[in-house]
Amino acid sequence: MTLKELELGKTAEVLSVGGEGALRQHFLDMGIIPGAQVTLVKYAPMGDPMELRIHGYELTLRLEDAARITLKPA
């Protein structure tokens, strides 16, 4: 499953980070790394972007980008 498919309030483990070049590096720099636990906190009023909790902080990510992150349900 991808991060885009994660249900509200659920937690999962990051398996792999997609994207290429600078985009992939940006994900890694934000702490989206394999093995990290990520929780979907909420969606913006219009449904995009999504707010996540990872490594103890809140992160906002567009749904298009979230589709590039593969998860394993926790």
* 15 CA to centre of own chain: 11
Residues near 71 by Cβ (< 8 Å), separated by ≥ 6? Answer: 1, 2, 3, 5, 6, 12, 13, 14, 15, 38
Q: Supply the mean pLDDT for the chain.
A: 94
pLDDT at 58: 96
Class of domain 3-73: mainly beta
pLDDT at 47: 87
Q: pLDDT digits over 4-36, tens only?
A: 999 999 999 999 999 889 999 999 999 999 999
Q: For residue 59, give the nearest of 74, 71, 42, 73 by alpha carbon.
A: 42
Domain spans in the chain, listed from the N-terminal domain onward: 3-73
Map tokens 């980008």 to a residue: 65
pLDDT at 19: 84
pTM over 0.85: yes
